Amino acid sequence: MIIKRVKAKKIKNSRGEETIKVFVKSDTGKGEASAPSGASKGKHAVKDFVGSVDDSIKFLKNCNELVGLEINSFDDLDKVEKIVDKEKYGSNTVIALEYAILKALGSIWKLLNPKVRKISRPLSNIIGGGAHFKGKGTDIQEFLVYPVGAMKISEAVKANSLIHSKVSKKLREVCSDFSGEVTDEGAWAPNLNNYGALDLLSEIAKEVSREVGFNIRIGLDIAASSLWDGKKYVYKNFSKDENEKSLDKKGQIKFVSELIEKYDLLYVEDPLHEDDFSGFGTLTKKFGKKCMIVGDDLVVTSLERLKKAGKSINGVIVKPNQIGSLIETKKFVDYAKEKKMYLIVSHRSGETIDASISHLAIGWEISMIKCGIYGSERISKLDELRNIAREIRSEK
């Protein structure tokens, strides 16, 4: 495939922020793609844009080195990354361009692994707060569900959607001031303390598990870096008896440990701040055989950070635009698999309609995808999972 033309335009993500959409025309096809942005960004992640979105658009429009470039496989993206500097134009410029190039070449999941036959299952955000909601809500950023027993992607999506719906109904019964507010990711945003949200979600997850006939587990993205003030973790809606509470490292580990045990959590993401490798290690050593202790801000899809983390975690979030390179993202994924870690491909809070991460999850045989359950930008990822599932079945 020979690239004939590259152009870009400015669009808005689901949070109303400016981002980029890239169009690629080749001698064999066309591709278009966009890149998202997160609200709670790890300080070690590559910047979404360096300068303005307009600077990136102008650069791509006038980048003659891309025109005539031959791309025949995923590995050929290395040629692109030698031309487009993520440190100069930002991670979103590179990622949107690379997605568009791959789409012009063909179906992304097939390019990565045409023999794959397993479909990733969705990890869905049901209740939320933290940096994803501007009003008064939970301190913990995301309260999640995962349909561990679902045999089909359609069953998994239906179960998570049912929980989302039932939680809304229950919140209107128990919270007099709740009127359907949602977070950036489409999770319900009630003015509940952290235990109250967990109690409610746990109850509904068990109820729906009985209805659908398979097990659904719950988890958390604590996003602890957003609670850390440099000395302590500061909570403003901690529990029924204590609104404001500050915890040191030891207290935070104790708090998270109690939540894992009390609610039989399957998954805990970023339970401590982004540089506390030893704190993560304490939790992994204690609960690693029964719970995923997952690093996001801790590792920011960086192979260097992942190697530094070592055995302090047993799971990692995969967000290509944290590192600004699909080539480097693949190296990160391969290393995590080699170390037998759990992997979760993830959306961002400021999402676009682009569903390339669904292809990455399936093509790289990653069993979990965190993509939300509500809103067009989230549903597009779930629809793509189902589309690929149908395509795989038709090719058997």
Which residues are marked as active site?
A: 185, 319
CB neighbours of 350 closer than 8 A, spacing ≥ 6? 13, 14, 15, 17, 19, 36, 37, 38, 39, 184
In order, the DSSP letters of 170-239 are HHHHH-TT-SS-B-TTS-B--S--HHHHHHHHHHHHHHHHHHHTS--EEEEE--GGGTB-SSSEEESS--
Contact 57, 8 (CB under 8 A): yes
Query: What's the rounded Cα separation, in Å, for the pair 164 and 162?
Result: 5
**Pairwise CA distance, residues 257 & 271, whole Å:** 10
From residue 392, alpha-carbon distances to 106, 122, 234, 347 in Å are: 15, 18, 48, 23
Cα gap 130→368, rounded to integer Å: 23
Residue 37 is classified by DSSP as: B
CB atoms within 10 A of CB 313: 28
Q: What sign does the dihedral 187-188-189-193 (CA atoms) show?
A: negative
What residue has token string 């006038």? 62
